[in-house]
Amino acid sequence: MVDKMEVFLNYTPVADILTATCCLTFILLIRSAYISKTRNFIYLKHMIYLLIIASISDINYGLMMQHLDTAPHVSIYIFRCIYHISIFSILWLYVAYIKENLQISYKYYKTFYIIAGIGYVLLFVNEILSIVLEYGFYIDEDNILQTGFPIIPFGYVFFMTLSVLMIFLHGKKIYKRVLFGLLSCIALSVIIICVQQFFGQSSFTAASFLLPIFARLYLIHANPYDIEMGAVSEKAFSDMVSFHHEKKIPMYIMSLYMHDFDGKGRKYPEKIQRIIRKFMSEYFIDPTLFHISGGHLILTVTKAKDSNYMENAQKMLSEFNQVYDNYKIDYKIVYTDSFEEISAANDYIGFIKYLHDKMAENSMIFANENDVQDYLNYKYILSELADINKAKDLKDERILVYCQPVFDLDTNRFDTAEALMRLKLPRLGIVPPDLFIPIAESNHYITTLTRTILFKTCQEIKKLNDKGYYVQRISVNFSIQDIQSDELFSSIEGIIKENGIAPEQLAIEITETQSESEFELIKQRISELKETGIKFYLDDFGTGYSNFERIMELPFDIVKFDRSLVIASGNNMKYRTMVSHLANMFNKLHYFVLFEGVENYDDEVRCISMNANYLQGYKYSKPIPIEQLDEYFVKDVVLSEKIKELIKI
């Protein structure tokens, strides 16, 4: 009897008291700090709760065992079962926790899951049956303790073996130093259990679980606040969005962007930090502040906790405007609810940055469903453009060529046109250029689109030639990215030859630039291609910056007067005289002048009187599919033969 009781007589509650105290400390720190509420963190939090239960149960169980003669046997059995089941539950959660950290798919995790589940059930059933059937731990009729097989060490080794095996098989996904820390703590825990068994102790079983829990909190879940401003990281924001979406908890999100604080090493000054801390403490209940990047902060509140969030947000905005009057630091503010589509994609940062790009400085916006739909369309267009750019298929059916016919005042007919881009996407149908061209340019996809438009335009010119229609030229718009593309410019002559058209039938429209380096490149490109016979247009003359010295240096063939000059010339005689003299000057310098945006009879008469050579606008035609140009162009046998001669040359 003495040998069997020795382990219990050696029991001291100090280790379990310390374990429970440490666990309570963890809980207090978790509530005070910010820790992303991911699934694996929830597993870890449950382990801490179970460890408190195990420690308290072990204290009662150990102390009762030291007074076996007087303690009620039923109470001993109950505390022992609670203690052991809590320990087994923690061990089972270890396996599930590691699976989440390693992001193992169910296909590979299934075997471990089944083995762990079977092991847990067997240990649980054995714990109950060993008492009921009196084949393991029980107290016999003579009040003599029968200890049976030491089940705790066995269960410990079983689950730890599974955990370590999972780590070794799939641990390449974990940073090596983190992996080393986790495995070291597991090894130390096993050593504690082995030493305890060797010395016939039972006081440190629960305490041995503290090391892996502490290691996981520190290595994996530590996400410290910025102690100056109380902000946490972008990763923490992503985790919070995932948690709230999974639990269907509505949030309200407030974003502040100040570009002055973008850049390495730059930070919000103390005066701004102090104001932000004040906003958080005075206006909201349990808010969380996230430092996304540079000058971008996001503040979130849970609607259920803070029912007055809208009213408080308005108060905060009002006070912020007063702050702006004092400091004059440029800002952009976005307020938004949590939307299902954005939450599911965990893409609020992308959504907010999209809104930033549309906003003026020192403005704010309350995002709504229309903004969400616009953003989803933007993402869809971007994904399609990325696919188009990757495929580089010059016959891609998603890229359409539209044209606007141009009236030639010299021949008194339509024999030129401007090619215009359109996209036709499965989900959106026809997409106008003002939606997709800025996206294509900002993501460097525009050159692929331009090459495709160029190829398809040449194809259609060939078809019109073959049908006997006279095509003087069709122009294609080039962006500065197109000008800078050596690959595109080296392929232009090849595209023309492949389609069997005369270079003179193709024109390139270029908008003037202020950049000295871009100007020199444009000058070089024009000089190279004009030798082949390709014509060049100066597009959008009269908008923004116009440098006559530079224009004179560039060998353009046609100058396109913008619609704004057409409108201005109709407002008063002063503007009309100025525009007329400009057009006359270009004529005398051997440039042709094209007025675009001619929408009615008065525009037409006025532009003709102002020395126009070509007219383009809705008075004649809206943009039409290039295949419909034969409705405007005419057949001319003589001119068609001249074109054929040019092609032969």
**CATH code of residue 351:** 3.30.70.270
> When comparing pLDDT for 250 and 280, which is higher?
250
| Burial per residue of 74-88, b for 16 or more beta-carbon CB atoms within 10 angstroms, e otherwise | eebbbbbbbbbbbbb
Mean pLDDT of 436-464: 96
pLDDT tens profile 326-345: 778 888 999 999 999 999 99
Instruction: Give Cα 351 distance to the centre of its chain.
Output: 8
**Within this chain, do residues 260 and 196 fall inside the same structural domain, yes or no?**
no
**Within this chain, do residues 441 and 480 fall inside the same structural domain, yes or no?**
yes
Q: Is residue 321 part of a domain?
A: yes
Q: Is residue 148 part of a domain?
A: yes
Q: Is residue 101 part of a domain?
A: yes
User: Which domain CATH number covers 459?
Assistant: 3.20.20.450
**Within this chain, do residues 308 and 435 fall inside the same structural domain, yes or no?**
no
pLDDT confidence band for 372 (50 / 70 / 90): very high
> When comparing pLDDT for 54 and 168, which is higher?
54
Q: Is residue 394 part of a domain?
A: no
**Within this chain, do residues 301 and 193 fall inside the same structural domain, yes or no?**
no
**Within this chain, do residues 203 and 84 fall inside the same structural domain, yes or no?**
yes
User: Which of 325, 346, 367 represents a domain boundary (last residue)?
Assistant: 367
Mean pLDDT of 484-512: 92
pLDDT score, position 368: 95
> When comparing pLDDT for 607 and 641, which is higher?
607
Residue 293 domain boundaries = 231-367
**Within this chain, do residues 244 and 201 fall inside the same structural domain, yes or no?**
no
Q: Is residue 577 part of a domain?
A: no
User: Which of 221, 254, 271 represents a domain boundary (last residue)?
Assistant: 221
At residue 92, what are phi and psi to the nearest 5 degrees?
A: -65, -40
Q: Is residue 603 part of a domain?
A: no
Q: Is residue 602 part of a domain?
A: no
pLDDT score, position 67: 77
Mean pLDDT of 30-50: 83
pLDDT tens profile 624-641: 999 999 999 998 777 667
Mean pLDDT of 250-255: 94
> When comparing pLDDT for 277 and 225, which is higher?
277
pLDDT confidence band for 4 (50 / 70 / 90): very low
Query: Helix or strand or coil: residue 363?
Result: strand
Residues 6+ apart with CB under 8 A from 378: 354, 439
CA distance 186 to 269: 44
pLDDT score, position 223: 65
Q: Which two tokens stand for residue 228?
A: 């100056």
pLDDT reading at 138 higher than 80:
no
> When comparing pLDDT for 262 and 527, which is higher?
527
Neighbours of 147 (CB within 10 A): 14
At residue 502, what are phi and psi to the nearest 5 degrees?
A: -80, 135
pLDDT score, position 265: 60
Q: Give the helix ranges, DSSP H, for 359-429.
A: 369-391
pLDDT reading at 388 higher than 60:
yes
- H or E element: which one contains 27? helix 14-32
Q: Is residue 372 part of a domain?
A: no
Q: Which two tokens stand for residue 49?
A: 């709760």
pLDDT reading at 406 higher than 80:
yes
pLDDT score, position 536: 94
Among the residue ranges 100-114, 154-168, 276-290, the one predicted with the least confidence is: 100-114
- H or E element: which one contains 508? strand 506-511
User: Which of 367, 385, 414 represents a domain boundary (last residue)?
Assistant: 367
What percentage of residues in the chain have a pLDDT greater than 70? Answer: 93
**Within this chain, do residues 344 and 416 fall inside the same structural domain, yes or no?**
no
pLDDT tens profile 61-81: 888 887 777 778 888 889 988
Average pLDDT value for the chain: 87
pLDDT score, position 649: 59
**Within this chain, do residues 235 and 87 fall inside the same structural domain, yes or no?**
no
Number of independent structural domains in the chain: 3
pLDDT score, position 8: 55
pLDDT reading at 145 higher than 80:
no
pLDDT confidence band for 346 (50 / 70 / 90): very high
CA distance 271 to 275: 6
HEC-encoded secondary structure of 232-297: ECHHHHHHHHHHHHHCCCCEEEEEEECHHHCCCCCCCCHHHHHHHHHHHHHHCCCCEEEEEECCEE
Residue pointed to by tokens 């193709």: 506
Among the residue ranges 38-52, 201-215, 244-258, 410-424, the one predicted with the least confidence is: 201-215
pLDDT confidence band for 382 (50 / 70 / 90): very high
pLDDT score, position 171: 67
Q: What angle do CA 346, 351, 355 make, to 5 degrees?
A: 165
**Within this chain, do residues 245 and 210 fall inside the same structural domain, yes or no?**
no
pLDDT score, position 424: 97
pLDDT score, position 231: 84
CA distance 78 to 72: 10
**Within this chain, do residues 337 and 407 fall inside the same structural domain, yes or no?**
no
Mean pLDDT of 542-562: 81
**Within this chain, do residues 107 and 207 fall inside the same structural domain, yes or no?**
yes
pLDDT reading at 2 higher than 80:
no
> When comparing pLDDT for 359 and 150, which is higher?
359
Mean pLDDT of 480-485: 90
**Within this chain, do residues 83 and 127 fall inside the same structural domain, yes or no?**
yes
pLDDT score, position 547: 67
At residue 408, what are phi and psi to the nearest 5 degrees?
A: -95, 110
pLDDT score, position 542: 82
pLDDT confidence band for 417 (50 / 70 / 90): very high
